[in-house]
Amino acid sequence: MVGFDFLLIDNEHGPGDVISLLHQLRAAAASDTTPVVRIPWNDPIYIKKILDIGVEAVMVPMVETVEQAEAAVAACRYPPRGIRGIAHTDARASDYGLKAKEYLETASDNVFIICQVESATGVENVEAIAAVDGIDMVFIGPFDLSASLGRPADFDNPRHKEAMAKSEAAIKAAGKSMGGIGYGPYTPKDLYERGYDLIVGAADVGLLRDSALEKVKQHSPS
């Protein structure tokens, strides 16, 4: 409601499950902010569950190969284009069956699929991953990438900068949207100027923490 374009619901590192996600989707529906859900792993069963409750943008972590990217796409699409199980007559996504026929016909084209490239292996294969049909966005994960390169959270490492640049060039060459995290030397403004389409610029924990620290600072005797 304050103007964020999207809300990233993090079920990879966060404690949430499918039930808590359902409540978050209901809350998000009161605004114009689009929810994007990062799933714990590239799991077709988990993907099926969250699509059935109405998720339309799925972020898949730690995609390292073409096969993994293709599996993510298949999990988001009904047969014959994919492997998603069909329960459209009862799913929340189809208004509990009130729009079952329409949903079955259109759902496979209405899921925005984001693959995270966040390892040295992923960067090696980033051109091929970005070229996979059905992948709408490639999201570069700087933290896990830095750890994969042997220097956790060292964004000044020349190898990290080289991996970032290679990934950015490959994503742009494939004509796909590009996402990333504004952190450290990679500020949201910097990422925007480098052509990123989706930028994570804040987190709920950080906003609460920083606000609380500021209040303590304001009211503490100097």
Please list the active-site residues. 13
Q: What sign does the CA torsion over 14, 16, 17, 18 have?
A: negative
Minimal CA–CA distance to 84: which of 61, 63, 116, 113? 113
| 112 phi/psi in degrees, rounded to 5 | -90, 120
Reduce the DSSP state of residue 135 to 3 states and report it.
Answer: coil
- How many C-beta neighbours within 10 Å does residue 210 have? 11
- How many C-beta neighbours within 10 Å does residue 139 have? 27
Specify the residue for token string 């026929």.
101
